[in-house]
Amino acid sequence: MLKIGLNMITNTLNTNEVKNSAGTEVEFQRLSISDRDTVFAAIGESYARPHRLSIKHTETGGGTKKRRRSVIRIDKTVDTLADATLEPSVVSFYLVADIPIGGLTTTAEPANCLAELVSFVASLGASTTILYDGTGNGAAALLAGTV
C-alpha cells in the first residue's frame, strides 16, 4: 500500500503558491480545517464576493482496492450581466485525483498523470514555457468549450 508523508500546507498561501492569469500572486488565509477538508479565503475578499480555495480528501475500500479521491477547488464570486443588471455568480474550477492507493507502492505514476494534465493546460505543445494566463492549448479548449 502506498504510504506518503504528510505535507501540511501552511496557514497562509502567500509566497507565489497561487497566481492569477496576469501572473499576480493571490494570497489565501486558512479559514477552516476539519479532518481531511481545508478551506482558504482570499485575503481581502469581501463578504458579498467570496473567493475560496478548498482541498478535500476521501478514502474508500480496503486492502489493495483502497482508493483516495482528492479535490482541489477554486470558487470565485464574480459580477455577471443579467438583464442589464450586475448580479453575483460563482465561477468554479476543480481538479480531481482518483488514485488506487491500495495497489501502488510509489507516487510515480500519479505524479506523471498530474504533470501531463498540468502541461496540457498550461503549455502550447512543443513549447517548454508554462503559461499562467489561461492561453495554453488545454486551457483555451476548456474555456472555449472546444475540442
The answer to whether 58 and 68 are in contact (CB under 8 A) is: yes
For residue 35, the model assigns a pLDDT of 87
The reported pTM is 0.83
| pLDDT tens-place string over residues 50-65 | 999 999 999 999 999 9
> Three-class SS of residue 122?
helix
Element (H, E) at 108: helix 108-122
Distances (CA, A) of 128 to 19, 120, 125, 136: 19, 11, 8, 11
Spatial distance between the Cα atoms of 84 and 81, rounded to a whole number of angstroms: 6
Other beta carbons within 10 Å of 68: 20
Spatial distance between the Cα atoms of 109 and 69, rounded to a whole number of angstroms: 15
For residue 64, with 0-12 CB atoms within 10 Å meaning exposed, 13-18 middle and 19 or more buried, which class applies? Answer: exposed
| pLDDT tens-place string over residues 89-108 | 999 999 999 999 999 999 99
